[in-house]
Structure 1
Amino acid sequence: MRWLKKREIVIYFLLYRKFGYDVFNLGEALDVLKPFFSKKVSLSAIKYMQKIGLINKIDFLEYRLSNFDEYIYLMSIDYLKRRATLRHKIQ
């Protein structure tokens, strides 16, 4: 799985600043992102973040943000295991 792009991090941050961990609907999210991103970019970023687990779909058009710290922790575990194995093989 790839790391997040700057655009996706900024979109997550904007949504977090507006909604926190409360439930929001897709229209509200698009309104928040409208001054900065096109509808197509916003939808694709939200869809990708839903796929990787940063945004949870609660109901039809309703979403909730996941905890970013937990996401980074889960992403870094595999990376750190791989780094430790590679470093051990080199030494």
Structure 2
Amino acid sequence: MSEHPRTQMNDDFTNPVRLSLMAALQGVEEIDFKTLRETLGVSDSALSRHITGLEEKSYLKVRKGFVGKRPRTWVKLSAHGRSSLTEHIQALRAITSGL
């Protein structure tokens, strides 16, 4: 008997901002915080909280550095994050196709 798609969904990605964040990172190698914030249309504090939560669960990798004298933060999907997102999307597709 096959597993129901709902059980394959990742509860960490059910928040719309988190899912949008993960999806935005799927198409790039790495993205800076400012660009990600503008892409998602969220506040600095909201984005920071979601990044921290996803990083703690090893879905993201965060790199901090400087461009000139200005601090910068870059974010990218980890291998675990990429595979977890793929599984979540497959579960959503199965649900929406009526399987």
TM-score by length of 1: 0.55
Which is bigger in relative contact order (C-alpha 8 A, separation at least 6)?
2
Question: Which structure would you say has the larger Rg?
Answer: 1
1:28 paired residue number: 35
Report the CA distance between 1:72 and its aligned residue. Answer: 6.2
Aligned to 1:12: 22
State the one-letter code of the partner of 2:76: R
Structure 1's 42 and 66: CA in aligned 2 closer, same or farther, altered over 3 A?
Answer: same
Structure 1, unaligned runs of 5 or more: 74-91
> For residues 6 and 27 of structure 1, do their structure 2 counterparts lie closer, same or farther at Cα, with a shift above 3 Å needed?
same
Higher strand share: 2
RMSD: 2.5
Equivalent in the alignment of 1:47: 52
Q: TM-score, normalised by structure 2?
A: 0.51
Is 1:57–2:84 an aligned residue pair? no
The 3 A distance-change label for structure 1 pair 63 and 49 is: same
What count of residue pairs does the alignment treat as equivalent?
A: 66
**Cα pair distance change 1:47/1:57, threshold 3 Å:** same
Seq. identity, %: 11
1:3 aligns with 2:11: yes
